[in-house]
């Protein structure tokens, strides 16, 4: 088998997995046009059409599906052999693409980046912040970090934190001017900072534990954002009440910039997890990062 065939098969697998030339090209570090030519050359060599292409989608033909089923295990074994060899030789490197929510990134990744790069200078990390669920296979990510309730069943998930608390807070100046709510129903008389979810486009309804039941409250106020840092900055400036993970708010609670309110009604949710596709052999760069992270995060389950 000629060497270029292996590269073509790897490209074929990426396109089949992501159903997109654009996403597959990004994962492989090539242009969509170059990847398209690679696939065409492979089809010409095999004398079989592997994909049905339209302007909006790329789907496997029946022949392509059968071929993928035969090719995928062989490529996985080759990757595994290469990774094991590199691991035993202490070789590491490459770009690690991670999709992470803003709260998780601030608490679980940002504090440890300098130490990680000092220990592993040959690994490049690309952090992409997005609070919605991201299909890491389709969009070419090696790893995702999300709250446990946001994960899909076909992912391998590793717990990074214990149960998380959703906390409501406001600045001392806001509370002095508007009073402190004693029950979630009183939020109707307060200015609240709303969050528009990027995944669905909907406004997040604040969740509280009332009489033992998880209850949603639609809130209103002068500001709606889709970026956590903006919401936090506005809350510190006294714009209104904010809701977010207590772990993410810990620094501003300690500094006194924000004050926790409605504590008896705070809801609890599964902690943050690192996740990746069970269909993908875990590369050395991902193993190294996960091992590092789990050794640094306090109280990893």
Spatial contact of 255 and 111, defined as CB atoms under 8 Å apart: no
- Spatial neighbors of 246 by CB under 8 A, at least 6 apart, are 164, 165, 166, 167, 253, 260, 266
User: Which parts of the chain have pLDDT scores under 70?
Assistant: 1-4, 80, 82-93, 149-153, 199-200, 278-281, 299-301
Q: Which residue has the tokens 């009489």?
A: 211
Spatial contact of 49 and 64, defined as CB atoms under 8 Å apart: yes
Q: What pLDDT is attached to residue 84?
A: 65
Q: What pLDDT is attached to residue 2?
A: 61
Q: What pLDDT is attached to residue 78?
A: 77
Model's pTM, two decimal places? 0.63
Q: What pLDDT is attached to residue 188?
A: 95
Read off φ and ψ for residue 238, nearest 5 degrees. 85, 15
Q: What pLDDT is attached to residue 301?
A: 46
Q: Which sign, positive or negative, has the C-alpha torsion 189, 195, 197, 201? A: positive
Spatial contact of 259 and 175, defined as CB atoms under 8 Å apart: yes
Burial 143-152 (b: 16+ CB within 10 A, else e): bbbbbbebbe
Q: What secondary structure letter does DSSP report for 59? A: E
Question: Helix (H, G, I), strand (E, B), or coil: what is residue 153?
Answer: coil
Question: 217-269: per-residue pLDDT in tens?
Answer: 999 999 999 888 899 999 999 999 999 989 889 999 999 999 999 999 999 88
Q: What pLDDT is attached to residue 299?
A: 57
Count of CB atoms situated within 10 Å of the CB of 92: 18
Looking from the CA of 194 toward its CB, the CA atoms found within 13 Å total: 18
């Amino acid at each position: 088998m000629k060497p270029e065939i292996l590269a073509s098969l790897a490209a074929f697998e990426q396109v089949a997995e992501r159903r997109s030339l654009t996403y597959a090209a990004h994962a492989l570090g090539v242009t969509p046009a170059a990847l398209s030519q690679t696939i065409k050359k492979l089809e010409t060599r095999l004398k079989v059409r592997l994909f049905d292409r339209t302007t909006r989608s790329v789907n496997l033909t029946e022949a392509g599906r059968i071929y993928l089923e035969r090719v995928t295990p062989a490529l996985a074994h080759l990757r595994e052999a290469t990774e094991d060899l590199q691991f035993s030789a202490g070789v590491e490197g490459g770009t690690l693409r991670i999709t992470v929510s803003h709260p998780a990134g601030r608490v679980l990744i940002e504090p440890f980046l300098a130490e990680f790069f000092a220990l592993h200078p040959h690994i490049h990390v690309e952090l992409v912040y997005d609070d919605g669920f991201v299909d890491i296979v389709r969009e070419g990510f090696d790893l995702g970090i999300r709250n446990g309730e946001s994960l899909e069943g076909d992912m391998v998930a590793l717990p990074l934190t214990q149960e998380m608390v959703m906390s409501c807070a406001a600045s001392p100046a806001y509370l002095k001017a508007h009073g402190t709510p004693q029950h979630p129903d009183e939020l109707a008389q307060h200015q609240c900072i709303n969050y528009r979810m990027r995944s669905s486009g909907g406004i997040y309804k604040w969740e509280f534990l009332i009489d033992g039941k998880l209850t949603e409250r639609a809130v209103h106020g002068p500001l709606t954002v889709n970026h956590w840092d903006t919401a936090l900055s506005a809350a510190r400036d006294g714009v209104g009440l904010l809701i977010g993970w207590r772990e993410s708010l810990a620094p501003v609670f300690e500094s006194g910039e924000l004050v926790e309110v409605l504590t008896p009604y705070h809801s609890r949710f599964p902690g943050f997890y690192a996740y990746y596709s069970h269909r993908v052999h875990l590369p050395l760069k991902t193993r190294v990062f996960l091992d590092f992270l789990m050794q640094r995060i306090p109280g990893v389950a």
